[in-house]
Amino acid sequence: MKQNWWKILALLLLIYTVVGGFLMDVPTLPILNESIRNMYFHVCMWFAMMILFTISFIYSIKYLRGFQYKHDIYAHNYAAIASFLGILGYSTGFIWANYTWISDQNQSIAGILKEPKLIGAAIALLIYGAYFVLRGSFTDIDKKARVSAVYNIFAFAMLFPSIWIIPRLVGSLHPGGQGGAGGNPALNFKDIDSRIRLVFYPAVIGWTLLAVWIATLKIRLQLIKDKSLLNE
């Protein structure tokens, strides 16, 4: 029971996120209005995604330093769950755009698809998609692990310009970018409302803990499956 406290915490935080996210009061902001509640899902999932990609990146470095196969297993599974969160975050973001940029600002779907933030996010996810395709192209375990580790480091480095840097330097409707819609980029303490903080920060922790929980389950299954390949 003592070892599972963080799993219980994850469930409690996510229950609080769902209930508080839909029922608690939120600020009335231009354009965003009630759709700002999606920040507890869209933005928080992407925060969890970045944390898991960072963990995957660290394990890839650890693998290249010692060539222990278990580190490749950790890197692969954390990247897999992070990519899944990325897809969920992208989907919820597109739905959000439908109720703000399309409905309230009369933007076309074609215009939304040209949005730098969406393009950058799609590129980042495709780069990680290539990571999994690359892994599947090798039959030799050691070669697959080494090439995957190097590529994973490259993929992590590409996250920052594609998601965080370039979209903020060009014209964008997304909050935080030049010409962005009125709203909340989530990290600006001058913009974020205290009512949002009550749910936002627990939501980040909750989604992250759930993602780590799922990743550890996948890792345990693969460690059992590949037990004969481990050196320990």
For 123-155, the pLDDT digits (tens) are 999 999 999 999 999 989 899 999 999 999 999
The C-alpha atoms of residue 93 and residue 91 are separated, in whole angstroms, by 5
pLDDT average, residue stretch 84-89 = 94
The C-alpha atoms of residue 125 and residue 168 are separated, in whole angstroms, by 18
Residue 179, pLDDT > 80, answer no
pLDDT average, residue stretch 75-91 = 95
The C-alpha atoms of residue 167 and residue 83 are separated, in whole angstroms, by 20
Half-sphere exposure of 112 toward its Cβ, with a 13 Å CA cutoff? Answer: 19
Instruction: Give every CB contact of residue 63 below 8 A, 6+ residues apart in sequence.
Output: 69, 71, 72, 75, 145, 146, 149
Phi, psi of 152 (to 5 degrees): -65, -35
Computed over every residue of the chain, the mean pLDDT equals 83
Helix (H, G, I), strand (E, B) or coil at 178: strand
Who wins on pLDDT, 208 or 189?
Answer: 208
The C-alpha atoms of residue 223 and residue 217 are separated, in whole angstroms, by 10
pLDDT tens digits, residue range 19-38?
998 888 887 776 667 778 88
User: pTM for this one?
Assistant: 0.86
Could you tell me which residues are beta bridge partners of residue 27? none
Residue 177, pLDDT > 60, answer no
Helix %, strand %, coil % of the chain (to 5)? 75, 0, 20
- Which residue type, as a one-letter code, is found at position 38? N
